[in-house]
Amino acid sequence: MFIAKFILKRIAAFGKYLELMGRTFSVPERMRMFGKQYLREMEQLGVDSIGIVLLISFFIGAVICIQIKLNIQSPWMPAFTTGYTTREIMVLEFSSSIMCLILAGKVGSNIASEIGTMRVTQQIDALEIMGVNSASFLILPKIMGLMTMIPFLVIFSIAAGFIGAYATALAGIITPDDLTVGLLHAFNPWFVWMSIIKSVCFAFIIASVSSSYGYNVRGGSFDVGKASTNAVVSSSMLILFADIFLTQLLS
Amino acid sequence: MIELKHLYKSFEDKDVLMDINAVFENGKTNLIIGQSGSGKTVLMKNIVGLFEPTKGEILYDGRDFVKMSKRERVMLRREMGMIFQSAALFDSMTVLENVMFPLDMFSDQNEADRIRRAKFCLDRVNLQGAEAKMPGEISGGMQKRVAIARAIALNPQYLFCDEPNSGLDPKTSLVIDELIHSITHEYQMTTIMNTHDMNSVMGIGENIIYIHEGTVGWTGTKDEIMTSTNEKLNSFIFASDLFRKIKEANQEP
């Protein structure tokens, strides 16, 4: 009984999500206003996330390099192993999937709480009364903005990870030459594209799921907080499931 | 003019509005009054289309809102302005941007004209010098005035006010009431105001509809209220000592 209720609730929520997306993906009423919102969202969701992306990627790149060098590298392995493994981890998983999981926390909660607050303070009702398609006006620029900015964040993350790895070379953990050889060894550019394609899909999940939680809030500030938490949890779960599917599909 | 004919609204098993018939006249401030929980907010939300009525007709100058297509509703909504209880200003925009918003969305005027119109509306509500401020930086009364300016920016034919005096001191409430009343007459709009502020009722109530337990309990004007013999209405209106004394004073020979 409990399981049946749970499944029905999930199906209803999915139906609500699809309905909202149907309203979201309509031609904007005023391209001028859409353009303004789109630029604003690119700045708020993308540009404002560059700092945290660079910081985390730098340290993770450095830590991966140290861990591989100290725990896996052995005289039986080629000297480029550390650089090679660091590159593969950064490009294939960290800069797309793990970075998007981190962004689901930062950006997802921001989106859900912003739209949720607009709902409980009747700002969305005000848009509706004016005859504005509130879903399209509020959500579409967020989805498009994040999907536009995410490839840049992935590239920045990969670059920052490599810089982090080179920083360990400065500390004498690995020689810069070995690291460079490893980073360039058997490089397949498709892996970067794969990472970018995955991250664009994850960006859609983060922006659309979080917007849906915010848009459907009923109640007050407590409910906005709850929606914000649920948005992060659901986006993260969906990213993990989608990661398995996309990795299998694109590899 | 807005007419309601046999309007019903239920939520699952609960009937909230039952057989509401009312006429809201053009160029008058029409008030919907009633106790908390009587159904007046639900009625307002049905009229503006935030809720769908279970059955009945909502006629905007003869055009049935219930039967309209989505597109027709969007077009009609451009003739509406609404002032919310919480003002509902967009908090990421300045005061001027808030007032300009409906113009930016629906007007074909150039930017200079849109700014001119927005400033005119702000002047009309006696709010100068606050254009660059954010909604969080101005008082509740000023926020309501910005909401009025935004609501009239597109010259609406229908103005809806959901408890506009909520949270305001009596003096500011009077200013807001007078502003809504004078704008209604100036632009010959059909204004519907949801309130349980008795000062508003006695001050600007040209056509009053009293909602009691989801039905129309009484209709009339502010002058007729003083002489009404409707017990339910009297127990609501004259609940405070002050209004009871005013009524007694009026009845003394």
Provide the domain limits for residue B71: 1-24+34-77+194-253
Average pLDDT, stretch A58-62? 96
Measured CA to CA, the distance from residue B95 to residue B125 in angstroms comes to 13
Measured CA to CA, the distance from residue B191 to residue B157 in angstroms comes to 8
Q: Which chain A residue shows the shortest CA-CA distance from B46? A: A129
Res B253: pLDDT:
61
CB B54 within 8 A of CB B6: no
Whether the pLDDT of residue A157 is over 80: the answer is yes
SS (H, E, C) chain A: CHHHHHHHHHHHHHHHHHHHHHHHCCCCCCHHHHHHHHHHHHHHHHHHHHHHHHHHHHHHHHHHHHHHHHHHCCCCCCCCHHHHHHHHHHHHHHHHHHHHHHHHHHHHHHHHHHHHHHHHCCHHHHHHHHCCCHHHHHHHHHHHHHHHHHHHHHHHHHHHHHHHHHHHHHCCCCCHHHHHHHHHCCCCCHHHHHHHHHHHHHHHHHHHHHHHHHHCCCCCHHHHHHHHHHHHHHHHHHHHHHHHHHHHHHC
Res B251: pLDDT:
67
Query: For strand B14-24 and strand B207-212, is the pairing parallel, antiparallel, or unpaired?
Result: unpaired
How many Å separate Cα B32 from the centre of its chain?
A: 9
Is residue B108 situated within a structural domain?
A: no
A164-184 confidence digits (pLDDT tens) = 999 998 888 889 999 999 999
Instruction: Please tell me which residue, B234 or A205, carries the higher pLDDT value.
Output: A205
Q: A113, A115, A119, A122: best mutation site toward chain B, by most B Cβ within 10 Å?
A: A122
Res B230: pLDDT:
82
Measure CB to CB from residue B82 to each of A29, A32, A126 and give the nearest one.
A126
Subunit contact A129:B80, Cβ cutoff 8 A = yes
* Secondary structure letter of residue B136 according to DSSP: G
Q: How many helices (H) and strands (E) does chain B have?
A: 10, 10
Other CB atoms within 10 Å distance of the CB of residue B241: 8
Measured CA to CA, the distance from residue B204 to residue A165 in angstroms comes to 74
CATH of the domain at B8: 3.40.50.300
Domain boundaries in chain A? 30-250
Please report the ipTM that was assigned to this predicted complex: 0.85
Query: Total domain count for chain B?
Result: 1
Res B12: pLDDT:
83
Q: Determine phi and psi for B57, rounding to 5 degrees.
A: -120, 145
Res B196: pLDDT:
82
Chain B interface with A: residues with Cβ < 8 Å: 48-50, 73-78, 80, 82, 84-86, 88-91, 101-102, 104-106, 160
Whether the pLDDT of residue A118 is over 90: the answer is yes
Res B153: pLDDT:
92
Taking only the tens of pLDDT, chain B with its 253 residues reads 999 999 999 998 889 999 999 999 999 999 999 888 888 889 999 999 989 999 999 999 999 999 999 889 888 988 999 999 888 999 999 999 999 999 999 888 899 999 999 999 999 988 888 999 999 999 988 999 999 999 999 999 999 999 888 888 888 888 889 999 999 999 899 999 998 888 888 888 899 999 999 999 899 988 888 888 888 888 887 777 777 777 677 666 6
Residue from A137, A242, A134 nearest A198 by CA: A242
Contact residues, chain B, for A43 at CB < 8 Å: none
Q: Determine phi and psi for A139, rounding to 5 degrees.
A: -90, -40
